[in-house]
Amino acid sequence: MTKKGVFIVIEGLDGSGKTTQAVLLTNRLSESHNAVYTAEPSLGKTGTFIREHCLYGEKRLPTEAEALLFAADRVEHMQNEILPALEEGKLVICDRYVYSSLAYQGSAGLSLDWIKTINARALQPDFAVFIDVPPERVLERLQRKKSVMETLETQRKVREVYLKFVEKGELIRVDGDNLKEAVAEALYATVLDLLKTFKDSIS
């Protein structure tokens, strides 16, 4: 298959505003491109299982089991949604992807190499952005019931892993500790700039 389309990943802590920002970005890009929003855990069978059974219990599953479930969801999501959209030349904005597994399950003790191995079939994104908000701020913002991942200690560790990938140049950091509109503007400008390289692949 010749890959068309562009695959963009948006990452961030829980409560960082990443979903709002990914949706705003998709709407704005839709003015000029065929852009679609999607997210993990996905709406497929495995993603629904994760949402229903793994996020809000008394305690977390064994971390290996979490990582395997997220990896399984990713295979399903990729085959059913991401690849078909890319084949149509769409710009796919994906809210969380392999970096979430590296950051959340990696910071819970799993080796990053093992997480990469079980995700080896997952298509590489063209680029990935990390919306950075301090962990103290994200937890203040979360009004709803907190999931098993949403403690200050967990979020701090998760951010550390994300920042390692920023240092390596695999994630592009956008400052998310600002007004919604300002973050949206910064994210849009960053993505537009990166998209210049891909202008022949998108519809």
In angstroms, what CA-CA distances link 131 with 5, 10, 28, 113? 23, 7, 17, 24
> The dihedral of CA 101, 42, 52, 70: what is its sign?
negative
Sort 147 into a burial class: Cβ within 10 Å, 0-12 / 13-18 / 19+.
middle
> How many residues form the binding site for ligand TYD (CB under 6 A)?
13
Q: Choose the stretch contacting ligand TYD; rule: CB under 6 A; options: 23-31, 76-84, 98-106, 192-200.
A: 98-106
Q: Choose the stretch contacting ligand TYD; rule: CB under 6 A; options: 3-11, 99-107, 126-134, 193-201.
A: 99-107
Q: What is the DSSP letter of 60?
A: P
Of 19, 20, 178, 201, which lies in the binding site for ligand TYD, with binding defined by CB under 6 A?
Answer: 19
| Residue 65 to residue 108: CA distance in whole angstroms | 12
| Residue 69 to residue 66: CA distance in whole angstroms | 5
Q: Choose the stretch contacting ligand TYD; rule: CB under 6 A; options: 101-109, 121-129, 130-138, 170-178.
A: 101-109
Nearer to ligand TYD, 70 or 127 (CB): 70
21 binds ligand TYD (CB under 6 A): no
Tell me the two tokens of residue 20: 């709002």
Pick out residues in 52-91 that bind ligand TYD (CB under 6 A).
Answer: 55, 70
Q: Minimum CB separation from ligand TYD for residue 161, in Å? A: 11
Residue nearest to ligand TYD (CB): 104
147 binds ligand TYD (CB under 6 A): yes
